[in-house]
Chain A
Amino acid sequence: MKLRAFLGYTAATATVFVALLTPFLLMGVFTKGFAALPVHVDEVYSGGPRVRTIQMGTHSIDVHRPVYPHMLQNEKPFVELDWRPVSALPQRVSDAVDIDGDGLPDIRISFDVPRDPKAPLRVDVESLNPHYESMRNAGKEKYSRLIVRVDDAILVRVPLASH
């Protein structure tokens, strides 16, 4: 019984030390430890990793790896394209984009670039390759089908056609 009591008090004292060490040491250790885990934010949110960049004169288009939703996730597979910097974009963008890198354009994307960064965006996507879906006047209805402005880029997500 005495040993158990000794262990109990030792653990209680250690608990008080854990509390005292938290802001100076443990928070940093735990945060770095968690950040070092091999986990990533769901690509449906993040858009997946960038695979290449297409230079278009004054601006560039980042092409991301296609994202495939999980199980019952209520989204379609999509590919994200980022136009940046917004300041270098013409008033109306109309670019034919080679997404898969085979030298042929896969889609033609057209959208207006309002000067007001909070103005709503709409996009038209004409599919030139049956792997990609066309979109008419799309806004930001779903993660897999949208156009939004994030910082200094305009992001367009084009759904992949289901076969």
Chain B
Amino acid sequence: MSTDARVLPPARPAPRGILRSLLLTLPILIWSLVMFFHPGANTKLLSRIAAAITVLFMTALFFMMMRTRNTYRWRRIFFVSLGVFFPVGFIYNLILMRGSMGIPIEEMIAGRTPFCFMPIPMLILPAALTRTLIFPGSIGSSNHGIAAMVALWLALTLVMGKGWCSYACFFGGIEEGVAAIPQRARIRKIDPRWRYIPWAVLLSMVLLSLALFEPAYCMWLCPFKAVTEYVAARNALGLVQNVIFILLFAGLVIVLPFLTKKRTQCSFFCPFGAFQSIFNKISIFEMKIDMERCKPCLVCQNACPNVSLSKESIARGETLLSCMKCGACVDACPRHAVVWHIKGTEIAWKPERARLMFLYAAWAMAVMFGGSIIAQGIATILHFIG
């Protein structure tokens, strides 16, 4: 035990009182109401109902985070909902607009391809060297424009760093949901060297995109094309691309998460995730391990859905650069040695304060971005029911 005079947090914090939890949740309720019912918000009845459901949903989850002091479990409910509702609303809109999930060449020429965040790292080098954006969209300030998505990404990244992958990515929820299904992992031993693959994919995709002048990952490797939109197959090559998308989706997003209980696409493939890891360096929030409490029993390492803890990193009292700040390790640690931390402060000194500050920022962004996607998905379902 430590001879340090500081006061250590209790080994097992009790649940917060209901009144105190409600008070802590109040700002998020007000924020959600402002986000969904501000003047100028959609006034259609179905959209209003969907917005009300979303406000209740997001507020209830935050309340449970406050009450139970558990983050991962409640965040996961939001995140899986995001992963499920995004394709629902998005595909419905595509079918409504163009009758298909395939993007015809006319839409690409017209600059009407919705821009997702995935190609952002691939745009940087061509834009810097030739002032050209290698994406068939429009720069304009519309919701689906490149400028709007880059702005959103920048704001969320400033706030969360790689927390983007746990609170904003509308793809990761699908595999997190699949990984939650089995009771136990069938594959438990994963070679740690697989962690380097996303960096290799990122580097090769960035260079290939510069050489071919097209977002190579979107054209060839993105598993989520299978549940969003894809280049309409005009020839045999297009058919091959679509088969690759489906196989990668089936393998990395369905089968492997089921077998490993890990987010395998995020951990071992996603180039955007690797790119986003860099921004953990500038993020003020991080996870730390209080070595005075740590045994180490490696429960946190097993709980991490992103393979962001290793024996070496635990010995150093920190997570790896790829940490998504999902909170799984904090909640799993039986000795409460893993804590939320603000850089510059003493480790394990008021970790709940660090958690609250991160959660207010992250959840505000989650309500604004993910919440609107969930509301759109709910509105789509209500449209079909009613």
A13 to B137, CA, bound (A): 36
| A69 with B213: CB separation less than 8 A | yes
Query: What's the least CB distance linking B233 to chain A, in Å?
Result: 12
| B110 with A150: CB separation less than 8 A | yes
Is the C-beta of B245 less than 8 angstroms from some C-beta in chain A? Answer: no
What residues of chain A lie closer than 8 Å to B159, measured between beta carbons?
15, 18-19, 22
Is the C-beta of A92 less than 8 angstroms from some C-beta in chain B? Answer: no
Partner of B345, one of A4, A19, A155: A4
Identify the stretch in B48-56, B140-148, B268-276, B317-325 within 8 Å (CB) of chain A at 4 or more residues.
B140-148
| A39 with B133: CB separation less than 8 A | yes
A72 to B135, CA, bound (A): 16
What residues of chain A lie closer than 8 Å to B106, measured between beta carbons?
140, 148-150
| B346 with A1: CB separation less than 8 A | yes
| B105 with A31: CB separation less than 8 A | no
| B342 with A12: CB separation less than 8 A | yes
Is the C-beta of B374 less than 8 angstroms from some C-beta in chain A? Answer: no
A115 to B110, CA, bound (A): 20
A-B contact count (CB 8 A): 159
Partner of A34, one of B151, B285, B346: B151
A51 to B234, CA, bound (A): 30
Is the C-beta of A47 less than 8 angstroms from some C-beta in chain B? Answer: yes
Q: Which of A19, A33, A148 has the most CB of B within 10 A?
A: A19
| B136 with A19: CB separation less than 8 A | no
Chain B contributes a number of interface residues (CB within 8 A of A) equal to: 57
Partner of B212, one of A5, A9, A74: A74
Is the C-beta of A119 less than 8 angstroms from some C-beta in chain B? Answer: no
Identify the stretch in B183-191, B287-295, B361-369 within 8 Å (CB) of chain A at 4 or more residues.
B361-369
Q: Which of B128-161 contact A (CB under 8 A)?
A: 130-141, 145-148, 150-152, 154-156, 158-159
Q: Which of A1-26 contact B (CB under 8 A)?
A: 1, 4-9, 11-13, 15-16, 18-20, 22-23, 26
A30 to B139, CA, bound (A): 12
Chain A: CB-nearest residue to B136: A45
| A73 with B212: CB separation less than 8 A | yes
* Interface range on chain A (Cβ under 8 Å from partner): 35 or more
| B364 with A19: CB separation less than 8 A | yes
A17 to B159, CA, bound (A): 9
Chain A: CB-nearest residue to B343: A8
What residues of chain B lie closer than 8 Å to A5, measured between beta carbons?
344-346
| B342 with A8: CB separation less than 8 A | yes
- Known A-B contacts A19-B365, A30-B151, A42-B134; the reply to A12 vs B354 at CB < 8 A is yes
| B344 with A39: CB separation less than 8 A | no
What residues of chain B lie closer than 8 Å to A43, measured between beta carbons?
132
Q: Digitize A145-156: 1 where CB-to-B-CB distance is under 8 Å, 0 elsewhere.
A: 010111100010
Chain A: CB-nearest residue to B161: A15
What residues of chain B lie closer than 8 Å to A23, measured between beta carbons?
35, 368
Q: Which of B332-358 contact A (CB under 8 A)?
A: 342-346, 354, 357-358
| A8 with B139: CB separation less than 8 A | no
What residues of chain A lie closer than 8 Å to B130, measured between beta carbons?
70
Interface residues of B (CB under 8 A from A): 31, 35, 105-106, 108-111, 126-127, 130-141, 145-148, 150-152, 154-156, 158-159, 210-214, 234-235, 284-285, 342-346, 354, 357-358, 360-362, 364-365, 368
A-B interface, 8 closest residue pairs, ranked by CB to CB distance from nearest:
A8-B344, A30-B151, A4-B344, A19-B361, A45-B136, A34-B147, A31-B151, A35-B147
